[in-house]
């Protein structure tokens, strides 16, 4: 009899997960030219403190040096850089006023703002984390200088890496100044080809999620380019308009591709080959060549062939076609903004504030001279959107132990008379490793630990020069950092698992609710009768008629998928958390998957309606939309008065829709969601 291995719990297996990513060689080169050289320049000039601060700023910027276009790099690096400089200004001001117990409430307030900012998106969440980390470092590191000067040095280090990002880039392919945006749109076609190749197989849903992520990245890149043009008051260039037309063709193909995916039938290889030809045409500038022959075997296939023809026409054009002014709102306008005073933001902020305050108080009791390491460690651990708490503490402990061991070994072996520059050498090696280390949190922690210890070592030497190589200080510092890290991990595990702070429903539920509301807005628009129908019945109850703008429909669909992607990330983190209580509740990952299938079904419904399928009556459509709205109300942790969720009554079952094939799939998935959410 074969023995079945028992799978590890998710919270125990998560620390061993490793991301498989290509090596970003350009980012590795930038990392090697940042922290180490800046620290060496400060030592050579006889002013190590500015070198430490500039190297610290470049390290914080290097954490955000991810692949993307130049404009996305400016946003992803620049916004956290400004937050880090502000944090250093606040922290240095606190230190100037004199360290004391009042530092605890001050850092708790900054921690609350940092935690509440986690709900505003990944870039602003990173900026909020670096605001808190720089505030703690500015308040704790004994470096000379005024607060304004320290903040400017940190900002200069960030800007140095950003300058290298704009200068040190891989050779540009065909496409000139649009190469980054062109590559982003080409990635959409490649992701669509992968999705079509996975149709009818077990990896279809995962491929569709990767396609949605590629669409979001390309959309962000093109929007930033248009925003830059408006800020510079520069009229759109022909190549910009052509690329926008080709991206619109890609989104139309993706919509039809999702409908093909919903049919759950394997597709011939030639179907997936056509999007790859478009991707290759974008990268090389050559024509796409022969495409798949049309085959009207279903409404989805007919829609795909029609979109394929439109894409071929868009790629054949050498000059853009003037388009009428569209009233399509930006993607973010189609989703409800998350305020820093929302329930999720308050819970996030409370968790970070309590952990930072507790760690600061313990550090001031145990190590008042070097207290900053504990709250800094907590800062990189406790943010709820960065990953499961137990997994991060395990990896932080392992990464810190490895990092301090490397630093201590370097201090013992390289601190002779001829190696006075060894901290800069170690910091440069850590900076080069940092872009590669994003694959795993323990590896990233090790790289950051080596760099921060180098900065702290040089800063302590500048504050109290001891002369010589003083290798024993490196060993002593390493031992203290290991003890502080383990203590910080214990504090985070204890405080972070308090009942209110560890409740996944309070953190995941609002995101799932927001995703369902975005899904409802998309479904309402899909089911809105066209302009040729009875205008008296053209609007669902309480909803104005939107018309049949395909750009708006695709924007609504992308908004629904984007919010679902954020909800899935939160649900995956919650599923891998170590739970001290096992109270029954919804399986959030299953709920999100069911909501994704509802959007897929609504997309297929829209394609069938475009191809002439019977449009449901307004009563049928309204009943289905109300059922989805009731589901969102029932899942929210703060139900609105007068809704089923507010009274504790589960939403009613979705009744069958007779003679309405276009809504049968949506109704089926909605009823399945009702059962999986444990709302029966």
Are 106 and 94 in contact by the 8 Å Cβ rule? The answer is yes
CA atoms within 13 A on the CB side of 473: 17
The H or E element that residue 655 is part of is none
- What pLDDT sits at residue 547? 42
Q: Per the structure block, which two tokens stand in for 48?
A: 């190590």
Residues 121 and 194 grouped into a single domain: no
- What is the tens place of the pLDDT at every residue in 29-53? 899 999 999 999 998 888 889 999 9
Domain encompassing residue 246: 177-316
The pLDDT score that the predictor gives to residue 542 is: 35
pLDDT confidence bin for 175, thresholds 50/70/90: very low
Neighbours of 232 (CB within 10 A): 7
Buried b (16+ CB within 10 A) or exposed e, 574-602: bbbbbeeeeeeebebbbbbbbbbbbbbbb
In sign, the C-alpha dihedral spanning 529, 534, 535, 539 is negative
Give the pLDDT confidence score for residue 339 in this predicted structure. 54
Give dist(CA 50, CA 43) in Å, integer: 9
Q: How far apart are the first and last CA of the chain?
A: 40
**3-class SS of residue 113:** helix
Q: Is the pLDDT of residue 470 over 70?
A: no
Indicate if 26 and 77 belong to the same structural domain.
Answer: yes
What is the pLDDT at residue 159? 93
In a domain, 326, yes or no: no
What's the alpha-carbon Rg for the chain, to the nearest Å?
27
Residues 308 and 415 in one domain: no
Residue 80 lies in a domain: yes
What the block records as the tokens of 84 is 């880090």
Q: Which two tokens stand for residue 279?
A: 């991707």
Alpha helices in 263-342 (DSSP H): 269-284, 299-316
* Helix, strand and coil in the chain, % to nearest 5: 70, 0, 30
- Whether residue 545 is predicted with pLDDT greater than 60 in this model: the reply is no
Residues 411 and 477 placed together within one structural domain of the fold: yes
- Cβ contact 126:65 at 8 Å: no
User: In this predicted structure, which of 38-42, 153-157, 237-241 has the lowest mean pLDDT?
Assistant: 237-241
Of 296, 204, 300, nearest in space to 252 by CA: 300
Last residue of a domain, one of 254, 285, 316: 316
pLDDT of residue 87: 95
**What's the pLDDT score for residue 655?**
61
Q: Is residue 334 part of a domain?
A: no
Q: Which of 316, 343, 371 is the last residue of a domain?
A: 316
DSSP state of 551: H
Same domain (yes/no): 146, 130: yes
User: For residue 214, is it within any domain?
Assistant: yes
pLDDT at 570: 83
Are 199 and 289 in a shared domain? yes
Lowest-confidence region among 103-112, 132-141, 624-633: 624-633
Q: Which residue has the tokens 């279809």?
A: 204
**CB neighbour class for 205 (10 Å; exposed up to 12, middle 13-18, buried from 19):** middle
**Tokens 């001031």 — which residue?**
364
> Which residues, 6 or more positions from 53, have their beta carbon under 8 angstroms from its beta carbon?
88, 143, 145, 150, 153, 154, 157
Within this chain, do residues 448 and 479 fall inside the same structural domain, yes or no?
Answer: yes
- Is the Cβ–Cβ distance between 353 and 115 less than 8 Å? yes
Let me know whether 528 and 672 are in one domain.
Answer: yes
Alpha-carbon gap, residue 226 to 565, rounded angstroms: 25
- Average pLDDT of the segment spanning 179-194: 90
Rounded to 5°, angle at Cα 230 from 225 and 231: 95
Predicted local distance difference test score (pLDDT) of residue 325: 43
- Mean pLDDT estimate for the chain: 79
What total number of domains does the chain contain? 3
Look at residue 312 and tell me if it is in a domain: yes
Q: Give the rounded percent of residues in the chain with a pLDDT score beyond 70.
A: 80
Q: Model confidence over 401-451: pLDDT tens digits?
A: 899 888 888 887 876 645 678 889 999 999 999 988 888 888 999 999 999
Locus of tokens 């698992």? 497
- DSSP secondary structure letter of residue 333: G
| Mean local confidence (pLDDT), 271-280 | 91
Contacts of 612 (CB under 8 A, 6+ apart): 299
Is the residue at 12 inside a domain?
Answer: no
Q: Which residues of 638-667 are buried (b: 16+ CB within 10 A; e: fewer)?
A: ebeeebbbeeeebbeebeebeebebbebbb
Which of the listed residues 289, 316, 343 is the one where a domain comes to its end?
316
* pLDDT over 60 at 158, yes or no: yes
pTM: 0.83
The model's confidence at residue 484, banded by pLDDT at 50, 70 and 90, is confident
Encoded tokens for 570: 């939160």
- Distance from C-alpha of 166 to C-alpha of 477, rounded to nearest angstrom: 37
Q: What is the pLDDT of residues 100-121, one digit of tens each?
A: 788 899 999 999 998 888 777 7
pLDDT value of residue 150: 94
The model's pLDDT over 568-625, given as tens digits with 9 standing for 90+, comes to: 888 888 888 776 655 556 678 888 888 888 888 888 888 888 887 777 777 778 888 8
**pLDDT for the residue numbered 254:** 92
- Give the C-alpha separation, 54 to 162, whole Å: 13
Q: Residue 344: inside a domain, yes or no? A: no
Residues 303-338: tens digit of each pLDDT: 898 899 989 988 988 766 655 444 444 444 444 445
Q: How many CB atoms lie within 10 A of CB 147?
A: 18
Residues 524 and 639 in one domain: yes
Looking at the fold, whether 439 and 534 belong to one and the same domain comes out as: no
Domain identity same for 191 and 83: no
* Same domain (yes/no): 86, 217: no
Q: Is residue 6 in some structural domain?
A: no
What one-character DSSP code corresponds to residue 119?
A: G
- Looking at residue 548, its pLDDT comes to 58
Measured distance CA(674)–CA(644) in Å, rounded? 13
Write down the pLDDT at residue 498: 74
380: which 2 tokens? 């990189």
**Sign of dihedral through CA atoms 96, 101, 106, 108?**
positive
Top pLDDT among 259 and 345 is at 259
């Amino acid at each position: 009899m074969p023995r079945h291995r028992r799978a590890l719990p998710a919270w125990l297996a998560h620390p061993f997960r490793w991301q498989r990513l290509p090596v970003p060689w350009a980012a590795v080169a930038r990392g090697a030219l940042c922290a180490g050289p800046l620290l060496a320049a400060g030592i050579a000039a006889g002013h190590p403190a500015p070198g430490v601060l500039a190297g610290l700023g470049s390290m914080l910027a290097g954490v955000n040096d991810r692949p993307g276009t130049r404009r996305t790099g400016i946003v992803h690096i620049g916004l956290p850089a400004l937050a880090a400089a502000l944090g250093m200004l606040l922290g240095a001001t606190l230190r100037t006023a004199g360290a004391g117990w009042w530092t605890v409430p001050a850092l708790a307030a900054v921690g609350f703002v940092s935690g509440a900012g986690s709900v505003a998106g990944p870039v602003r969440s990173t900026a909020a984390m670096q605001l808190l980390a720089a505030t703690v470092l500015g308040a704790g590191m004994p470096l000379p200088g005024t607060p304004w000067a320290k903040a400017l040095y940190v900002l200069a280090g960030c800007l140095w890496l950003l300058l290298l990002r704009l200068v040190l880039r891989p050779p540009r392919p065909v496409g000139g100044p649009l190469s980054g945006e062109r590559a982003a749109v080409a990635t959409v076609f490649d992701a669509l080809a992968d999705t079509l190749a996975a149709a009818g197989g077990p990896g279809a849903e995962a491929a569709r999620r990767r396609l949605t992520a590629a669409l979001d990245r390309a959309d962000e890149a093109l929007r930033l380019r248009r925003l830059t043009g408006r800020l510079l008051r520069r009229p759109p260039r022909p190549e910009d308009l052509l690329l926008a037309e080709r991206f619109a063709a890609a989104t139309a193909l993706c919509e039809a591709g999702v409908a093909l995916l919903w049919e759950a039938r394997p597709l011939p290889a030639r179907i997936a080959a056509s999007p790859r030809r478009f991707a290759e045409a974008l990268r090389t500038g050559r024509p796409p060549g022969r495409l798949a022959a049309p085959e009207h075997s279903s409404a989805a296939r007919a829609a795909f062939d029609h979109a394929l023809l439109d894409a071929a026409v868009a790629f054949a054009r050498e000059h853009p076609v003037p388009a009428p002014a569209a009233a399509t709102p930006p993607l973010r306008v189609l989703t409800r903004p998350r305020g820093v005073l929302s329930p999720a933001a308050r819970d996030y902020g409370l968790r970070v504030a309590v952990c930072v305050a507790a760690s600061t108080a313990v550090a001031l009791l145990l190590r008042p001279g070097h207290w900053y390491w504990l709250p800094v460690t907590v800062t990189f651990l406790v943010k709820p959107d960065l990953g499961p708490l137990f997994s991060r503490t395990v990896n932080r402990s392992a990464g810190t132990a490895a990092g301090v061991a490397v630093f201590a070994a370097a201090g013992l072996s390289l601190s002779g008379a001829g190696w006075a520059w060894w901290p800069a050498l170690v910091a440069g090696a850590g900076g080069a490793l940092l872009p590669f280390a994003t694959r795993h949190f323990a590896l990233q922690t090790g790289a950051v630990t080596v760099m921060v210890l180098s900065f702290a070592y040089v800063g302590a030497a500048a504050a109290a020069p001891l002369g010589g190589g003083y290798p024993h200080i490196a060993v002593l510092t390493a031992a203290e950092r290991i003890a502080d890290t383990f203590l910080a991990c214990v504090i985070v595990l204890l405080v972070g698992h308090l009942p209110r702070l560890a409740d996944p429903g309070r953190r995941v539920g609002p995101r799932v609710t927001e995703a369902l509301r975005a899904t409802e807005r998309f479904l309402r628009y899909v089911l809105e009768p066209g302009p040729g129908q009875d205008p008296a019945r053209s609007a669902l109850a309480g909803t104005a008629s939107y018309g049949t703008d395909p750009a708006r429909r695709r924007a609504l669909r992308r908004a629904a998928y984007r919010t679902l992607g954020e909800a899935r990330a939160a649900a995956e983190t919650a599923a891998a958390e170590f739970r001290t209580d096992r109270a029954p509740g919804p399986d959030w990952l299953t709920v999100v998957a069911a909501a994704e299938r509802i959007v897929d079904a609504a997309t297929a419904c829209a394609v069938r309606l475009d191809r002439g399928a019977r449009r449901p009556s307004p009563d049928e459509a309204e009943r289905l939309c109300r059922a989805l709205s009731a589901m969102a109300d029932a899942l929210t942790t703060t139900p609105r008065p007068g809704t089923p969720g507010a009274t504790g009554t589960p939403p009613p079952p979705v009744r069958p829709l007779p003679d309405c094939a276009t809504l049968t799939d949506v109704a089926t998935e909605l009823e399945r969601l009702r059962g999986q959410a444990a709302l029966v």
